[in-house]
Chain A
Amino acid sequence: MTNTVSPLGKDLIGLEKLSADQILQILDTAEPFKEISERRIKKVPVLRGKTIVNLFFEASTRTRVSFEFAEKRLSADTVNISTSGSSLVKGETLVDTARNLEAMRIDMVVMRHGASGAARFLAERIPSTVINAGDGWHEHPTQGLLDLLTMRDHMGHLEGLKVCIVGDILHSRVARSNIYGLRTLGAEVAVCGPRTLLPSMVEELGCQFFSRIEDAIQWADVLNILRLQLERMQSGYVPSLREYNRIWGVSSKKLEAAPRDLLILHPGPMNRGVEIDSDVADGSHSVILNQVTNGVAVRMAVLYLLAGGQLDKAEAAKRGGES
């Protein structure tokens, strides 16, 4: 291997396989990128001439816009493809779509897909760098990274930090990326929510479980509150939104009992009055908008670190999922 291989390998599929050093390198690289977004001219030329395709098979505003800003601030050329208005609705397979893009000589694909494992599937089949922007219930690595960065910014450290993820853990790629990243960096992780929305492997992931939000509030330094996907209610996972809010919703009244100030994160979009009350979302301990700001910096760091390894990309694709 030459020194031109990116420190992250060819792709970013998830945080599960990354080492503590690799995660810390991304977080440390994100620091100077924060400053670029504060400049009058928010652009540096480091990815000039790179072509990046944002391939979104699922609705997304925050993540897609954040990636696009990150790409543009690094001077890459970007194309956005979303499900509507593309041949994706005509039944073209994922690999065919990607191969056609490949034939137009692209360098990277940022993909959001509804199927768990879609990002790895694609990465093993095309030589371009693939960045997972969320695949089914599997992982959403850049969201996990921006959560880690925001927690580190405000708490000063991640090792030994007590983080409780609240809500629908079962269907949440954000939860999984958080758990992998936080555990790798030595944080203590717990989850809290209805048992119906809990994956069976929570203990295997090394997480504590709280069935009562009041207990989680007593234990935690940080609450990462997940969005309750409203379609879950129709599937019978939760009885009603009102009951969900009463039992697991985070309100300032419940937070009053906390022995210390809790940092409040939420990946968005929020259902105000369901999983989080407005006075908490807009309160002084909420860092929800800092997360959005950090999202651009983290994505710039990921793009920058992955772009360094392009020379060996064809070989890496041949090796498949080993990297």
Chain B
Amino acid sequence: MPTPNRIRVMSEPDVRRAVARMSREVVEKNGGTEDLVLMGIHRRGTHVAEMIRAEIEQIEGDHIETGSVDITLYRDDLEVVGPRPIIGATELPPGGIDDKCVVIVDDVAFTGRTSRAALNELSDWGRPGKILLCVLIDRGGRELPIQPDITGRQMQMHEGERVEVLVPELDGDLGVALIQTTSEDP
């Protein structure tokens, strides 16, 4: 089996600059930090959300409530992919999400199915005043009419390519890699 080709498309400073801009956009779209809640999607989305939280807290000096969602039980493909080996916890911020501006944070936007699942899960938890979708990488390929409001970088993907966001907590590294597999390798 041929080894897939890894290309670094975003370095650590690239990601930090993107996160800094995204954080400002979040504050701008909400008109400040009041009622702002960040909800990271398990697993890498929670780490991106954590970076955005730290950035906003630094520039605005306010505490930002952060939670996480694991959308495993809201997926619509249990019969296709089978049960997940590990289901992460869903953690609601202490103040809840009712009437808040909830920013769903994920690492990569692809088919839109994860975002759909997260939207469904949030509506079971309460009634946010407003929901925004914020992703580090938008790789296109949507299967549902759901688009991010805030994007770190858009990438044009070709067949056999996938994108991987690396975070220090899980990968010991911060950055984005493009993985190319040759076409004869499925």
Write the residues of chain A forming the contact surface with B, with a CB cutoff of 8 angstroms. Answer: 3-7, 25, 28-29, 32-33, 35-36, 39-41, 43-47, 74, 304-305, 307-311
Contacts and interface: CB of A to CB of B under 8 A. Distances in A.
Contacts of B90: 32, 35
Contact of B73 (A4, A45, A308): A45
A53 to B, nearest CB: 19
Interface of B: 70, 72-75, 78-83, 85-90, 120-121, 124-125
A74 B83 CA distance: 13
26 contacts: A3-B82, A4-B79, A5-B82, A6-B83, A7-B85, A25-B85, A28-B86, A29-B83, A29-B87, A32-B70, A32-B89, A32-B90, A33-B87, A35-B89, A36-B73, A39-B124, A40-B125, A44-B121, A45-B120, A47-B78, A74-B73, A304-B73, A305-B83, A307-B78, A307-B79, A310-B79
A313 B75 CA distance: 21
B74 to A, nearest CB: 6
B125 A41 contact: yes
B130 to A, nearest CB: 20
Contacts of A25: 85
B99 to A, nearest CB: 15
B78 A46 contact: yes
A243 B12 CA distance: 75
Nearest to A34: B89
A29 B73 CA distance: 12
Given A4-B79, A308-B82, A310-B79, A44 B74 contact: yes
A97 to B, nearest CB: 26
Given A41-B125, A45-B73, A46-B75, A4 B89 contact: no
A309 B87 contact: no
A248 B120 CA distance: 53
A6 B89 CA distance: 22
A308 B88 contact: no
A30 to B, nearest CB: 10
Query: Which of A5, A41, A44 counts the most chain B CB atoms within 10 A?
Result: A44
A43 B82 contact: no
Contacts of B80: 4
Contact of B82 (A4, A33, A36, A39): A4
Contacts of B88: 32
Nearest to A75: B73
A311 B79 contact: yes
Contacts of B79: 4, 307-308, 310-311
Contacts of A6: 82-83
Given A35-B89, A35-B90, A45 B74 contact: yes
A37 B75 CA distance: 19
B173 to A, nearest CB: 28
A278 to B, nearest CB: 36
A46 B120 CA distance: 12
Contacts of B81: 3-4, 308
A146 B73 CA distance: 21
B81 to A, nearest CB: 7
Given A39-B125, A41-B125, A32 B82 contact: no
Contacts of B75: 46
A46 B74 contact: yes
Nearest to A310: B79
Contacts of B73: 36, 44-46, 74, 304
A184 to B, nearest CB: 19
Given A39-B124, A45-B73, 16 more contacts: A3-B81, A32-B87, A32-B88, A33-B87, A36-B73, A40-B125, A41-B124, A45-B74, A46-B73, A46-B75, A74-B73, A305-B83, A307-B83, A308-B81, A308-B82, A308-B83
